[in-house]
Amino acid sequence: MTLASPSKPKASKTTLGVFWMLVTGLCFVAVIALVKYMGPRIPPAEAAFLRYLLGLLFLLPLAKYILAARLTRRQMTLFGVRGILHGFGVMMWFYAMTQIPLAEVTAMSYLSPVFVTLAAVVFLGEVLAARRIAAVVFALVGAVIILRPGFRELNGGHLAMLINGGLFAGSYLLAKVLADELNPLVVVGMLSIWVTLVLAPFAAVVWVMPTIAEVALLGAVACFATLGHFTMTLAFKAAPMTVTQPVTFLQLVWAVALGATLFSEPVDVWVVIGGAVILGSVTFITWREAMLNRRAITPTTPETKV
């Protein structure tokens, strides 16, 4: 009996980590469902701007940390560049939501950590070992399974998600650099401020007066997105990412179910298979980071959400 007792707290934390990651997945699936339900009447740039503008209300408690931080000119420049990359990435995501099914958006979002891995090699000089190369290749195979070029019609939404992955990769690499120097709360708050500023002129050009219902929907999007990032943090605090990472596959399952039941989208088994292949490779990369006792550069899938 005494031998089993030390493992109970660890098992309890693992269960708690899985629970919070399940909640995180539900929050982010709620985000994509609400955006899909809102439809294409509001241009993607305006929808993304309103989402971040309303989201600033939830981040007001971070103001004291931002004001207390003595940011250098270099750090402000990095924040600005990150805001540009992330802002354009968010616009691509909102555009893709109006063009392709929920399941495809969710499955292709798993590619972002793979882009981060490749970018880390190019820009940060990281060594890409044979096993990680194999994981990246499998992820790209998963993308091909989803897209199936030559066997199905592709549109701008698929291209937008590929661009989104590359832009988010750059954003998270800069986040790593800034997080090494500043309080993570400052990094989160500054991202929201800069993305709102970056999106503002694009939203102004295509502005369509939103209805009260549309503002309420985007307010709910901001709420669920903020809550999702909070519960994701709780999940990472409770359990290792190697435990919580596989749980994110359920987001694809829920997206497929929502798409089929609420939006009459056909269930494409190839999208599910491709998403599983990509997520498997990302999980392996995360596990390798843990085994090497290094600080993970590759963000987990939920971190790439809007």
Q: For residues 184 and 144, what is the distance between their CA atoms, to the nearest angstrom?
A: 35
Taking the C-alpha atoms of residue 302 and residue 245, their distance in angstroms, rounded to an integer, is 9
Whole-number pLDDT of residue 196: 95
Alpha-carbon distance of 277 to 275, in angstroms, equals 5
| Average pLDDT score, the chain | 82
Confidence of residue 11 (pLDDT cuts 50, 70, 90): low
Mean pLDDT of 158-169: 91
- Using CA atoms, how far apart are residues 90 and 96, in angstroms rounded to an integer? 10
Which residue, 189, 291, 178, 305, is CA-closest to 240? 291
The answer to whether 107 and 143 have CB atoms below 8 angstroms apart is no
Portion of the chain with pLDDT greater than 70, in percent: 85
pLDDT at 2: 47
Q: Where is average pLDDT lowest: 30-34, 122-126, 184-188? A: 122-126
pLDDT in tens, 46-86: 999 999 999 888 888 878 888 888 889 999 999 999 999 99
| Contacts for 214 with CB less than 8 Å, ≥ 6 apart | 38, 41, 42
Task: Evaluate whether 160 touches 94 at the Cβ level (below 8 Å).
Answer: no
Q: Which residues of 168-199 are buried (b: 16+ CB within 10 A; e: fewer)?
A: bbbbbbbbbebeeebeeebbbbbbbbbbbebb
Is the whole-model pTM more than 0.85?
A: no
Q: Write out pLDDT tens, residues 233-264.
A: 788 777 766 666 667 777 888 888 888 888 88
